[in-house]
Amino acid sequence: MWRYTTYKAWKQPLLACSKFRHFSSSPPVAVAGRLERNDTQPTRPFWKLKDTEKIQVRLGEMRHVKWGFIFYRCTYSDDSSWQRFMDIVRHRAELDVHETGGSDINSSLEISSCEDRSEFEGATIDQIREHFENWVCDSSRSILQEQGPDANPYPTAQYTYPIHVDAEAMYSVVESAPQPPARDKDGVGYVNLINSYWRPQETSSQCEEGFHEQDGNDDVGYMRR
């Protein structure tokens, strides 16, 4: 289910965003912790590193103390299935980190959710992208303060790729996919990983590689993952 998303810092705007827009919902609710700074970096070339080592390198480069994922709940008909979904997400993420030798970053993993039925029920991918972008810009000062006094203002993947979860995605994880402790080796369970910097007028060559339609060559700004 999990592949760790890297990014190219030069393509990202600063977290210290000048745009100002209001939104009504609460900020994401964190459900995991943070890590004290660790400047120990692997000595091998970046392309030879494990995914967890790449995350460690990025955290060091950005001077950030936590990393993770932000999930938008866009289905509200089944609270127990949503709780099960989040439990599976945490389990698989932590297991993947542990199995790839990422004990140094496990305590800094933060799984967060945005839940507001009045605002997000049935929300489209475009609506979630807009809300997320506004939240990052409006909250940029507090985000940087939380990451630490030396934090680089360029955003990490946590503040670049929000995750949209509709009913179909939720049930793919809690019903269709093998359930823990079994592994979902065939990738039956999925979520919608959104590129928050995508714009409709952009061509495929201008956007991050990999964000493509399932059955075509057009970049649509998100992918099932």
Residues 198-225 have pLDDT tens digits of 987 654 444 444 444 454 546 688 899 8
**Coil, strand or helix at 142:** helix
Residue 54 within any structural domain of the chain: yes
Which element (helix H / strand E) includes 165? strand 163-165
Residue 192 within any structural domain of the chain: no
User: Is residue 97 a contact partner of residue 106, using CB atoms and an 8 Å limit?
Assistant: yes
- What is the overall mean pLDDT for the chain? 78
Between 95 and 2, residue with greater pLDDT? 95
Residue 199 within any structural domain of the chain: no
Least confident of 22-26, 103-107, 135-139, 151-155: 22-26
Residue 224 within any structural domain of the chain: no
Tell how far CA 45 is from the center of its chain.
Answer: 25
Residue 3 within any structural domain of the chain: no
Residue 100 has pLDDT above 70, yes or no: yes
Find the domain containing 24 and state its range: 9-171
> 4: which DSSP letter?
P
Interatomic CA distance for residues 118 and 55, integer angstroms: 35
How many distinct structural domains can be found in the chain? Answer: 1
Query: Binning pLDDT at 50, 70 and 90, where does residue 35 land?
Result: very low
User: Is residue 165 a contact partner of residue 76, using CB atoms and an 8 Å limit?
Assistant: no
User: Which of 187, 192, 216 has the alpha carbon at shortest distance from 204?
Assistant: 216
User: Is residue 180 a contact partner of residue 37, using CB atoms and an 8 Å limit?
Assistant: no
Interatomic CA distance for residues 183 and 186, integer angstroms: 9
Tell how far CA 142 is from the center of its chain.
Answer: 18
Which element (helix H / strand E) includes 82? helix 79-99
Say what percent of the chain tops pLDDT 70. 71
Residue 212 within any structural domain of the chain: no
Residue 197 within any structural domain of the chain: no
Residue 207 within any structural domain of the chain: no
Q: How many CB atoms lie within 10 A of CB 22?
A: 6
At which residue do the structure tokens 């029920």 appear? 121
pLDDT of res. 8: 39
Helix axes 140-147, 125-138, angle to 10 degrees: 70
CA distances from 64 to 18, 77, 127, 219 (A): 21, 36, 28, 30
